[in-house]
Amino acid sequence: MKTQIEAAREGIVTPQMAEVAAAEEVSPERVRGLVAEGRIVIPWNHNRGPKVVGIGEGLRTKVNASIGTSSDIVDYDAEIAKAKAAEESGADTLMELSVGGDLDRVRREVIAAVDLPVGNVPLYQAFCEASRKYGDPNKLDEELLFDLIERQCADGMAFMAVHCGINLYTVERLRKQGYRYGGLVSKGGVSMVAWMLANGRENPLYEHFDRVVEILKRYDTVLSLGNGLRAGAIHDSSDRAQIQELVINCELAEIGRDMGCQMLVEGPGHVPLDEVEGNIQLQKRMSGGAPYYMLGPISTDVAPGFDHITAAIGAAQSSRYGADLICYITPAEHLALPNEDDVRMGVKAAKIAAHIGDMNKYPERGRERDKQMSKARRDLDWERQFELALYPGDARAIRASRTPEDEATCTMCGDFCASRGAGKLFAGDLRGDKI
């Protein structure tokens, strides 16, 4: 079977491309052209056929939610509940990132529980299995790794974060700059660095990149080039190690596209706001416009318990400047394994941030909903306000919990409602639907 990018290059508009075009209100031919150039990807898998989602240039910014067990907490039912909560809250994609328990079981149950495109990080299971089998993750055999990637793709993974851009050269950059303030924070990245140093060998995912691509191509699974050396602290953002990995990932994105595989590039985790625009511009220029998957980004390091907010601020900026997929952050980040409530809160914060970014990225079509909401508030049309709200259930619940004496107003102002008073003064001067 052809991949989406191979079909697009042959002038074929696949059913998935047509569905993306309809959802985004753009022409199918435009979607096809951008898929052919590698500027739009459609996470897919011939073995599963998930909900169709387009990620990339000219499309709405999408939000990913990540779930998964840990070595401390293994509750399969809880992971299913979190997966469903993410989908109900509006996540566009889901990553299953378990490292505890029966990893094949949890992956397969999560895939079966949702319609969303599901992704993962194969290094997690690879090092878990090597540790269980040999008592030492550094004894991982590369054949086991490639066999595992194949097995996970066969299960229906729509996209896969693979740490191909870490190599001995990037590790040397890390050492020469004097390590980091915040250290390394990617589980897959640290495990691969440890394996390379323990074995004195190159990263097989980099050394045999063509093999990785060929496996994912067979399933039309999107290859998301993971950033294992991403900054885990504001003061490490844009350091030489991170940028070197980004350079390599952008080169690999071009190679993978040429081989007929859909490619994403992943971005940094902790970024001060004044570096967001430059980081995205650099990625887009070096990768030939490959869709950019930003992890957060977290915009300050001093708000544990509220990192869904620090990440939403970074995500709004990222969306504004051209990021295409945002990975949510929950309030539990840096503190604990997220629960179902954390997942819901993280998705909602990220979705709001993505909307704010899209309002500025696409002002002509991104602000219409806000204009309609303004008119509904002016006219005290509560049902219309709920209809336009990103999360109407939450809005209704808050209003219902503090019912006003006059149902036309709310308890914020009551008798002193500015909208009601001004409406009487300017009833004959409404702009209405003229704008």
The structure tokens 């992956």 sit at 107
Task: Judge residue 24's burial from the number of C-beta atoms within 10 Å of its C-beta, 0-12 exposed, 13-18 middle, 19 or more buried.
Answer: middle
Yes or no: say if 98 and 129 are a contact pair by the CB < 8 Å rule: no
Model confidence band, residue 380 (pLDDT cutoffs 50, 70, 90) = very high
Digit-coded pLDDT (tens) for 313-337: 999 999 999 999 999 999 999 999 9
Region 379-393: what's the mean pLDDT?
97
CB 229 within 8 A of CB 167: no
pLDDT at position 428 over 90: no
pLDDT at residue number 434: 45
For the chain, the helix, strand and coil percentages under 3-state DSSP, each to the nearest 5: 55, 10, 35
Cα dihedral 203, 195, 217, 16, rounded to 10, equals -120
- Return the structure tokens found at 120: 């993962």
Average pLDDT over all residues of the chain:
96
Place of tokens 């997929």: 325
CB atoms near residue 78 (< 10 Å): 15
- CA dist 30 and 219 (Å) reads 24
pLDDT score, position 324: 98
As a whole number of angstroms, the distance between CA 354 and CA 409 comes to 30
**Domain 43-364 -> CATH class:** alpha beta
Mean per-residue pLDDT, 389-411: 94
Q: What is the pTM of this model?
A: 0.96
Q: In the numeric block, which tokens belong to residue 261?
A: 């595989």
Q: Structural domain boundaries of the chain? A: 43-364, 368-430
Question: Are the C-beta atoms of 184 and 123 separated by less than 8 Å?
Answer: no
Instruction: Look at residue 177 in the predicted model and tell me its pLDDT.
Output: 95
Amino acid 366 reads: G
User: Regarding predicted confidence, which is higher, 434 or 36?
Assistant: 36
